[in-house]
Chains A and B, each alone.
Chain A
Amino acid sequence: MFEIGGKMLKSRLFVGTGKLPDYSLIERMYYEAGIEVFAVAVRRIGPNTKHTKNVLEYIPKDATIMVNTSGAQDHKEAVKIAMIGRELTNSDWVKVEIEKDTKYLFPDSFETLKACEILVKEGFKVFPYIYPDLNLAKELEQIGVEAVMPLGSPIGTNKGIGCEVLLKPIINEVKIPVIIDAGIGRPSHAAQAMEMGADAVLINTAIATSADPLKMAIAFAKAVEAGRLAFEVGILKEYEYAQASSPLEDFISG
C-alpha cells in the first residue's frame, strides 16, 4: 500500500482510458489487473460530436477517477475543465495537462504552473503533467500539488524513458510522489521507471492500442510490481570487469 492524493492504493500502475477499443475493458482491468486509478478526459458530447458514450458509466464505483484537462490551451480552460470534472464525478483528482503544440504534445510549463496555483487553492488534488524539469517540480511541490507527472518521452511514442538523467534528479530531490507519465511503450520501460524510484507510472497508449489491452495491463502491472520490489531492495552497482559468482579457489586440477 502507498499513500497518494489522500488515498491508500495497492497498485502503482495508473491507466489512461483513451483509445480503448471498448470501455467495458475498464472494469476487467480493475478486477483482473488490479488497476485502481483511471484517467478520463472531458469532451463535447451529443449532436455533431464523435463521442456518444460516456466513459464514467464504465468505471467501477470504488475506482479513483483522475480528470485530465487535456485539450486545454491555457490555465483558464484547464481550471474550467477541472471544475466540470469535479461537478460530474465528485472526484477532486485532476491531472493538469496543458498543450499548445500538437506535434509533440509538450506541456506548457507557464500555464501549468498558473493552473496548479489556482486549483490547489480551490481544494483540488492536483497532478501536473510536466517536462522533466527539476526547478519546475520543486516550484510545484511548494505550491502544494499532490505529485508531479514528468514525461518519459512524448505522449504515445512508445520510446520509453528518454531522459533518465533529467528524471532521476526529480525523483531524488522532491518529497512528493513522482509518477512517470507518457511515452512508456513496454512493460520493461515501466519496470525501469520503478527501479529508478518512481512512485507510480501512468500508461495509456501502450495498453489501449495493444492487441489485447487486458493482457497488456496485467503485463504492465507485474512489471511495475517487479520494478518497485527491486527498488525497495536496492539496485546493485555495475562493474567494469567480471565478478565471479562461484568461488575462485579450490578448483579440481584434472
Chain B
Amino acid sequence: MLIRVNDKEMEFCGNILDLVLSLNLNPKTCAVLVNGEIVKKNDWESFVLKDGDYVEIVSFVGGG
C-alpha cells in the first residue's frame, strides 16, 4: 500500500500511531493531518491509513 508522508511516497500498512513510531518521532510532540484534516491523538490507533492517503506530520520548531 502506498501513502504519501510529507510529500514522500512510502510503502506502509497500519494506523497513525504505528507510522509515527516507525519514523522514530515522539507521539507526544507531533500532530498528524490526513488529507488536510487534523486527526485527534485519541483516534491515532483506530485510524488505519488507506492507499493514497496524504499524511503530514507537524511539530514545533523555532519561530518568531
Q: Do A and B bind each other?
A: yes
Q: Within the assembled complex, what's the spacing in Å between the Cα atoms of A47 and B41?
A: 20
Q: What is the size, in residues, of chain A's interface with B at 8 Å between Cβ atoms?
A: 40
- B6 CB contacts on chain A under 8 angstroms: 44, 46-49
B49-64 residues with Cβ-Cβ distance < 8 A to A are: 56-64
Chain A residue nearest in CB terms to B23: A46
- Interface presence of B48 (CB below 8 A): no
Contact A43 B61 (CB under 8 A): yes
Q: Within the assembled complex, what's the spacing in Å between the Cα atoms of A55 and B30?
A: 11
Q: Within the assembled complex, what's the spacing in Å between the Cα atoms of A20 and B48?
A: 37
Given contacts A47-B6, A87-B38, contact A17 B29 (CB under 8 A): no
- A48 CB contacts on chain B under 8 angstroms: 6-8
Using an 8 Å CB-CB cutoff, how does the interface string of A40-83 with B read, 1 for contact, 0 for none?
11111111110101111100000000011010000000001001
Using an 8 Å CB-CB cutoff, how does the interface string of B9-21 with A read, 1 for contact, 0 for none?
0100000000000
**A87: contacting residue among B10, B41, B57, B63, CB under 8 A:** B41
Q: What is the size, in residues, of chain B's interface with A at 8 Å between Cβ atoms?
A: 24
- A23 CB contacts on chain B under 8 angstroms: 62
Contact A41 B40 (CB under 8 A): no
- Interface presence of A19 (CB below 8 A): yes
Q: Within the assembled complex, what's the spacing in Å between the Cα atoms of A104 and B22?
A: 40
Chain B residue nearest in CB terms to A48: B8
Chain A residue nearest in CB terms to B29: A54
**A46: contacting residue among B25, B40, B60, CB under 8 A:** B25
- Interface presence of B46 (CB below 8 A): no
**A43: contacting residue among B26, B59, B64, CB under 8 A:** B59
Given contacts A47-B5, A47-B6, A87-B31, contact A42 B64 (CB under 8 A): no
* Minimum CB–CB distance for B59 against chain A, Å: 4
- Interface presence of A155 (CB below 8 A): yes
Q: Within the assembled complex, what's the spacing in Å between the Cα atoms of A68 and B60?
A: 10
Contact B25 A55 (CB under 8 A): no
- Of listed A46, A47, A56, residue having the most chain B CB within 10 A: A46
26 contacting pairs across A/B (C-beta < 8 A): A16-B62, A18-B61, A20-B62, A40-B61, A41-B61, A42-B58, A42-B59, A42-B63, A43-B59, A44-B56, A44-B57, A46-B5, A47-B10, A47-B23, A57-B29, A68-B64, A83-B38, A84-B31, A84-B38, A88-B31, A88-B59, A88-B60, A155-B64, A202-B64, A205-B64, A208-B62
Q: Which residues of B line the A interface, CB within 8 A?
A: 5-8, 10, 23, 25-26, 29-31, 33, 38, 40-41, 56-64
Going nearest first, the 7 A-B pairs with the smallest beta carbon separation are A41-B63, A16-B64, A204-B64, A17-B62, A45-B59, A18-B62, A84-B31
